Amino acid sequence: MSAIAGGTNMKERTKLFLIILVFAAAYYIPWSSQTIRQSGLEAFMMLQEYAREHVLTCLIPAFFIAGAIAVFVSQASVLKYFGATANRILSYSVASISGTVLAVCSCTVLPLFAGIYMRGAGIGPATAFLYSGPAINVLAIVLTARILGWQLGLARAIGAVVFAVVVGLLMAFIFRKDDTGRTAGKMYLPDSEEKGRTLTQDGLFMLTMVLILVFAAFAKPAAGDAGIWSIIFAAKWYITAVLLTVLAFMLKGWFQKEERVTWVQATWGFMKQIFPLLAGGVLVAGFLLGRPGHEALIPEHYIQTLVGGNSLWANLFASVAGALMYFATLTEVPILQGLIGSGMGKGPALALLLAGPALSLPNMLVIGGVIGVKKTAVFCGIIVVLSTIAGMIYGSFAG
């Protein structure tokens, strides 16, 4: 009873703090200032842009996949590949490779991460997956190589794969006692056959939803590109429609009504948990940093001035700025193209590429709600430090 009462008091204190924070913002923010008004406009413009371009095609499919993981994927299966006691080579290989399939941003990957972590995944494999999802994006890496040079594209590819494994291993080592506590007392039972479906059917169902996410969120290739990426982009909605039809037949023929209802309820649970934090984070990021090409509270030329050369400060600042900014899938490339043209060093450019796509302020807020503030701070700190080091090493060779 005392634990329940303590949790209730904590929620009430949080609500009170938010009310005070909103009141203080309404009372003290000088909206008469042109800069503040422009920053406020940018906050809502970024939220509108995100709602129009990413919610329906990226986040909604991701939420449904997360709900399916929570309901249809047995805990034994999750623990087999991502559990704290799973084979490390297997778990980190699966977590790292996932990024080559899921062309998602730092926010779209969140429901998927929450799904596998709450299902029993170890903190190491789960955070390796969390980093790799948005960081190891084949199309983004190819676009980086074509626009910013093959050297930077190759460095990004190598760095992202290595980071996914190193981040996961460090998180697993630092929080090994927490992982032990999460697995203590759990019974590792084999998959139940009462569901009336085979493992192959479950696998095809999950694969279909992942493909829907991949094609629905498929970004437009660079102008003038007439290769395979342009062909896929032109046919993306036809492919998505076919996959949705296949998914409907699967749901009708393979799943009972109670299972479908439970799936929708689980999906709604993830949406309630993540959407408010995500929207708040996007608003804050837009207010402080604005959209590409639109200044907000922090002017763009300040950032450009601070990331020239290859000093420790320039790389560290690029890593921190990248970690706080929100990058939709592939948008980091044109942003960096502009920054490099304005004098940004090659080392800081790589540092931002390695930290930016995998992190953002909205992303951090949601991760904190899933794994806690302490783990989130360590996770973000590891990425910032590794990105800074990688940027300095690459900058010293690239010149």
What is the DSSP secondary-structure string of 106-147? TTTHHHHHHHHHHTT--HHHHHHHHHHHHHS-HHHHHHHHHH
pLDDT of residue 185: 41
Q: Is residue 20 part of a domain?
A: no
Q: Is residue 168 assigned to a domain?
A: yes
Tell me what percent of the residues of the chain surpass a pLDDT of 70: 77
Among 189-193, 277-281, 297-301, which stretch is predicted with the lowest mean pLDDT? 189-193
Q: Which one is predicted more confidently, 381 or 226?
A: 381
Among 356, 368, 353, 342, CA closest to 277: 368
Residue 338 lies in a domain: yes
169 pLDDT exceeds 50? yes
pLDDT, mean over the chain: 78
Look at residue 9 and tell me if it is in a domain.
Answer: no
In angstroms, what CA-CA distances link 307 with 252, 321, 339?
A: 55, 10, 9
Would you say residue 214 has pLDDT above 80?
A: no
Which pTM does this prediction carry? 0.62
Residue 1 lies in a domain: no
Residue 183 in this model has a pLDDT that exceeds 90? no
Instruction: Tally the domains of the chain.
Output: 1
Least confident of 108-112, 129-133, 173-177, 317-321: 108-112
Task: Examine residue 188 and state whether it is found in any structural domain, yes or no.
Answer: no
Q: What value does the mean pLDDT take over residues 165-184?
A: 78
- What pLDDT, on the 0 to 100 scale, is given for residue 85? 62
153, part of any domain: yes
The residue ranking higher by pLDDT, 131 or 326, is: 131
- Label residue 199 by pLDDT band (50, 70, 90): confident
Range of the domain at 311: 39-180+198-398
Please say if the pLDDT value at position 189 is more than 50: no
Q: What is the pLDDT of residue 170?
A: 92
With b for 16 or more beta-carbon neighbours within 10 A and e for fewer, the 222-240 pattern comes to beeeeeebeeebeebeebb
| 33 belongs to a structural domain | no
